A and B are shown apart, each in its own frame.
Chain A
């Protein structure tokens, strides 16, 4: 029965061979530059996959319609996916069901860019944006450059651009205007006043503040602002966002922010039950007048579009002034991006589509249809938007406020907010001191590993 053995070993060898070969199939591709312009003689289908969540899909439908009208030979296949944050990685890295253009949340492109899995868009940034006389390099706001101008260092080709911003806007405190008016409260300028206000609200038998406890990322505007206020501009932008050593992550500001977060609970300002709730649940409490203020983003109104009662009035407000920054602070959130799959068959069409989606007209439609804002130089003067969207715009456009983002393209920055720690601080499982210590440990490891990975 030697044969059976031979056959077995043959199968084994075959399977190992199969496995071994397959390891090499994820090679670089699509990194070569393609000349722009949409061919008009062939039928082209462009698959556009997008994270279908707070912004709905109305804007994408509009894009499809307009783009197809302009390019009759192109069909846009829209794929909305609420799970895209999880599925985009296997899609891009394996090519299965891969889109041509995708709009999602996160920063996967930072890793896929150097591997050629998303298209290098550096040349796209040189092109004139339709409906303007600016190149994309000029059209994009400075704050957004912090994230999308990806500096790999001279020996790796300098500044690269692998993605364009999809949406960006303020994340901060949203308050119930009606309730504030009723009680004669006013949204404060300084943190001290904010603390007094919280006591007042608490005395009135209402919970002052909440946030989606299951997703501590919503506390980001507070944590990052506090870190900025404590460290000061120079340290925050010079070291924290562009570290030269991991020591910056041991700064007292880290512990201070964690402690301040804990004090919100110790003072009884956070609505009871917050830690267990997801965004819908806390937002529902906010809508039902159970809590006066909520940490949230500019998508809040759209996200809960089905639930608002008649005559509701809410507004976005900055994080109150404290420490070394002399104005109230607005935190800009911009995790959403658009990119092109590296192995797309239609790079020119995809680029054309991307450019088209950036035009001021398209951005206005985005505000109108999805209640979203984008980090480009365009204005919403002639667009009919809601009071809330106006307040969001005001918060980022008002020169009385200090604006910043923690988004960074520097791979050495330890970008983790510390969600796990925040949950555990909130529930009392971990002290702020321990959290700060752990944060530093993790940051150190991240710094060393990234340096090694980049060959620095």
Chain B
């Protein structure tokens, strides 16, 4: 804890932090309140309470915007993408951490170099590649998420390094194969890494906007982030702000609820993810 703050410092800090925290929360309350208004009501006053808490905008958001389908695809992409990212990262990390072979260190440095180079610049060839392979769809997105040499690998790597090989030896003597040792013994022992990687990857994929916005061209197959963005674009053509508000609340609510429930696990996961190296 160290030295406590003096009263004035403490008050200043509290006031500033409180304003900051309110600025992070209040907009959602504002959106929530206005999501019950009709369009003319919203335009006449943005601060009044709604005349009635009618769910019209929510029904419209669900009906007119494929909101449920956005959720469906987001869940599919997040589950599959996270699972693949976890498996492939664990596989790569396990082999690199536990097996000695020529090129091992080289592959590891390739991975590190890969995520240190700024990648936005490579968009042009990526776009052409996707065009030529016809991967502008959900499969392309999954393929791009199914990496095994990113930051997740580094988290697993440091974990596997710490796990003693004697467990594996015992298993080998019992006649287990390499994969069984990996899958049944080592991976369960890296449970903490799996939780960290799983949570951070899932949140990252769930929230990702850029890749799905490029890859998912079919309006029937959209994730929540992309769907909301097109809703925002569409709103510009029919001026139904309040429906957009309802959609924003619908899209945010599940994440916020999960965050409230699993806050500690989520923070811990990100802490580990951020502290690589």
Contacts and interface: CB of A to CB of B under 8 A. Distances in A.
Q: Do A and B have CB atoms closer than 8 angstroms in the complex?
A: yes
A2 B80 CA distance: 35
Interface of B: 39-40, 43, 101-103, 127, 129-137, 140, 214, 217-221, 230-231, 233-241
Contacts of B133: 22, 25, 94
A456 interface: no
Contacts of B230: 81-83
B220 A303 contact: no
Contacts of B130: 90, 94
Given A5-B102, A304-B239, A306-B240, A82 B233 contact: yes
Nearest to A24: B132
A441 B127 CA distance: 28
A244 B265 CA distance: 68
B103 A96 contact: no
A80 B237 contact: no
Contacts of B134: 25, 94-96
Interface in A49-78: 52-54
Interface string A294-325: 00000000011111010000000000000000
A287 B136 CA distance: 41
Contacts of B239: 280, 283-284, 303-304, 306-307
Nearest to B133: A22
A356 to B, nearest CB: 24
Given A4-B101, A90-B131, 8 more contacts: A1-B103, A25-B132, A53-B234, A82-B230, A82-B233, A97-B136, A278-B236, A280-B235
Contact of A93 (B40, B131, B137, B218): B131
A52 B219 CA distance: 11
A1 B102 contact: yes
B218 to A, nearest CB: 4
Interface residues on A, range: 35 or more
A96 B137 contact: yes
Chain A CB count within 10 A is highest, among B43, B136, B220, B231, for B136
B217 A97 contact: yes
Contacts of A84: 219
Contacts of A90: 127, 130-131, 136, 214, 217
Interface of A: 1-2, 4-5, 8, 19, 22-23, 25-26, 52-54, 79-84, 87, 90-91, 93-97, 278-280, 283-284, 288, 303-307, 309
Given A1-B102, A5-B102, A83-B233, A22 B129 contact: yes
A306 B238 contact: yes
B119 to A, nearest CB: 17
Contacts of A304: 238-239
A2 B134 CA distance: 36
Contacts of A2: 102
Closest 4 CB pairs of A and B: A96-B136, A1-B102, A82-B234, A97-B218
Contacts of A306: 39, 238-240
B224 to A, nearest CB: 15
A8 B103 contact: yes
A22 B237 CA distance: 38
B217 A26 contact: no
A31 B24 CA distance: 56
Chain B CB count within 10 A is highest, among A2, A22, A54, for A22
A307 B102 contact: no
Chain B CB count within 10 A is highest, among A4, A91, A96, for A96
B219 A83 contact: yes
Contacts of A4: 101-103
Nearest to A80: B219
A23 B234 CA distance: 35
10 contacts: A8-B103, A81-B219, A83-B233, A84-B219, A87-B217, A90-B127, A90-B130, A94-B132, A96-B134, A96-B217
Contacts of B132: 22-23, 25-26, 94
Contacts of B101: 1, 4
Contacts of A83: 219, 230, 233
A82 B237 CA distance: 9
Contacts of A53: 234, 237
Contacts of A8: 103
A145 B130 CA distance: 35
A92 B34 CA distance: 40
A93 B214 CA distance: 13
Nearest to A87: B217
A169 to B, nearest CB: 16
Nearest to A77: B220
Contacts of B214: 90
Contacts of A79: 218-220
B43 A284 contact: yes
Contacts of A81: 219, 230
A94 B40 CA distance: 43
Nearest to A307: B239
Nearest to B106: A8
A54 B230 CA distance: 14
A70 B120 CA distance: 50
Nearest to A280: B239
Contacts of B102: 1-2, 4-5
